[in-house]
Structure 1
Amino acid sequence: MDTPHPIQALVFDIFGTVVDWRGSIIREGQALQARLGLAADWPALADAWRAGYAPAMARANAGQDPWTNIDGIHRRILDSLIPRFGLEALPEGERDALNRAWHRLGPWPDAVPGLTRLRRRFVLSTLSNGNVALLVNMAKRAGLPWDCVLSAELIGRYKPDLEVYRRAAALLGFGVEQVLMVAAHPSDLMAAQRAGLKTAYIPRPQERGPGGWMESTEGCRFDWQAPSLEALADQLGA
């Protein structure tokens, strides 16, 4: 008889780990420019948009800003960037459509095949700060084979608050030690580890473009580390 695997469920960070947010946002901007003729430095806009993300979530967790989901946070950041990037002529409908580009992010090449293999053996769920509607729309468009869509929105706190990780395990019906957090960001994994989850590190050196900054792993210890989700499936016997 097969020995039960100590891991029963895998929960995934999404932005940067499963999908290529930067490349996708740049492509969306370039398509908008081709359609409307509004030029901008789209790589710089993508980077600036993402740079506002963590501080906004930290303010929400600290109670300094009213709670809003990631769609609201993304829109607030975009509105602040419009003058900086010369996009004042962008109509309201187009601004809303551009903000929803985060619902249309494309997966890394290994994501769908790796997840498909992992799902044969484990329960798979998102564990993202992205809101539920965003994650569902992304999954439908990109073909991401989740069993469940869990979001920090359901808990009313953002990662790296430890309650987000603990509640995810409880919602899936497993002990924290039976759940593996998969992410490209060591800080996310270290928070999951403090909450009692196991961790798997998938480095994404192209997340911020060629030669872009990567979060340091110095002092970090992960339960698993793999160069891709397909390689992680190999390591976990999926």
Structure 2
Amino acid sequence: MDEVKVLLFDVFGTLVDWHGSIAREVHGQLAARGFAVDGAAFANAWREQYQPAMEEVRSGRLPFSKLDVLHRRNLDVVLKAFGLDHVDEAARQQLNFAWHRLDAWPDVTPGLARLRLKYRLAPCSNGNISLMADLARRNDWHWDAITGAELARDYKPKAVVYQCAADAFDCAPGEAMMVAAHSSDLAAAAAAGLRTAFIARPDEHGPGIGETSASVPVDVSANGLMALADLLGCR
């Protein structure tokens, strides 16, 4: 692993508990407005719109749009499906920016601090730059840069997103390692020439619903970022 200079991180699911955070926000904000809703079911339904919306961009059917824009389109679809299409505009805006207020898994902030002692760090997320900056401020992360979809003007798992992130650090792809809790993300990163590290997040989509091991070949596997820091010699 001596040639690796930068660690690039998936964010949703790998670093933050999007499911628990969104479920809490949806329940709290809609309940305060008198709407009864299953926050966990709503969170999953909203997330199910994620890949189809990005595929509209990846396929060229839509010009590049920031994830905040896609999340809002998806929110309107899900509110209608839940019989909540009368929710007002102010509530919709607050709900959409719940993605800027996601909480990190407990190991992430101390793990990133250790990894930063040896490597340069950046998110390589489908989230837009302002979203990544807000999550970093909320969770006390210190990035060396913010890379990902907005920089590449396309969405993972397109190779250009990973390659653009490595290039931002003047690195060859093999000098960058993608860190993610999703086998599909790591398979795409490896195909683009990056090294890969799998992080188990067994509760990503709710209790007991998440990947516990990689289904594709990876360079490193760990149960969290503190364990990854141990494996990579970050003391």
TM-score in terms of structure 2 length: 0.95
Per-residue displacement from partner, 1:1-48 (whole Å, max 9, x unpaired)?
xxx932110000000000000000011012213422211111111001
Partner of 2:170: 173
Q: Structure 1 CA distance, aligned partners of 2:225 and 2:210? A: 21
Higher deviation after alignment, 137-146 or 107-116? 137-146
Aligned-partner residue type, residue 97 of structure 1:
Q
Question: 1:80 and 2:113 equivalent?
Answer: no
Q: Structure 1 CA distance, aligned partners of 2:231 and 2:212? A: 23
Per-residue displacement from partner, 1:149-172 (whole Å, max 9, x unpaired)?
112111111000001111111111
Given the superposition, is the C-alpha separation of residues 207 and 213 from structure 1 closer, same or farther in structure 2, using an over 3 Å criterion?
closer
Partner of 2:230: 234
Runs of 5+ unmatched residues, structure 1? none
**SS in structure 2 of the partner of residue 80 of structure 1:** helix
User: Matched residues, percent identical?
Assistant: 46
Does the Cα contact within 8 Å between 1:40 and 1:86 map onto a contact in 2? no
Aligned-partner residue type, residue 129 of structure 1:
N
- 1:216 Cα deviation after fit: 7.5
Partner of 2:217: 221
Aligned-partner residue type, residue 111 of structure 1:
V
Q: Structure 1 CA distance, aligned partners of 2:21 and 2:177? A: 27
Higher deviation after alignment, 60-69 or 227-236? 60-69
Partner of 1:134: 131
TM-score in terms of structure 1 length: 0.94
Does the Cα contact within 8 Å between 2:151 and 2:164 map onto a contact in 1? no
Aligned-partner residue type, residue 229 of structure 2:
A
Question: 1:89 and 2:86 equivalent?
Answer: yes
Does the Cα contact within 8 Å between 2:189 and 2:195 map onto a contact in 1? yes
**SS in structure 2 of the partner of residue 83 of structure 1:** helix
Does the Cα contact within 8 Å between 1:186 and 1:215 map onto a contact in 2? no
Aligned-partner residue type, residue 107 of structure 2:
D
Q: Over aligned residue pairs, what C-alpha RMSD do you find?
A: 1.5
Aligned-partner residue type, residue 53 of structure 2:
A
Partner of 1:60: 57
**SS in structure 2 of the partner of residue 148 of structure 1:** coil
Q: Structure 2 CA distance, aligned partners of 1:28 and 1:144? A: 22
Count of residue pairs the alignment pairs up:
234
Does the Cα contact within 8 Å between 1:45 and 1:81 map onto a contact in 2? yes
Does the Cα contact within 8 Å between 2:190 and 2:196 map onto a contact in 1? yes
**Segments ≥4 residues shifted beyond 3 Å:** 213-218
Q: Structure 2 CA distance, aligned partners of 1:123 and 1:96? A: 34
Question: 1:111 and 2:93 equivalent?
Answer: no
**SS in structure 2 of the partner of residue 82 of structure 1:** helix
What are the within-5 Å matches in structure 2 for residues 128-167 of structure 1?
Answer: 128-167=125-164
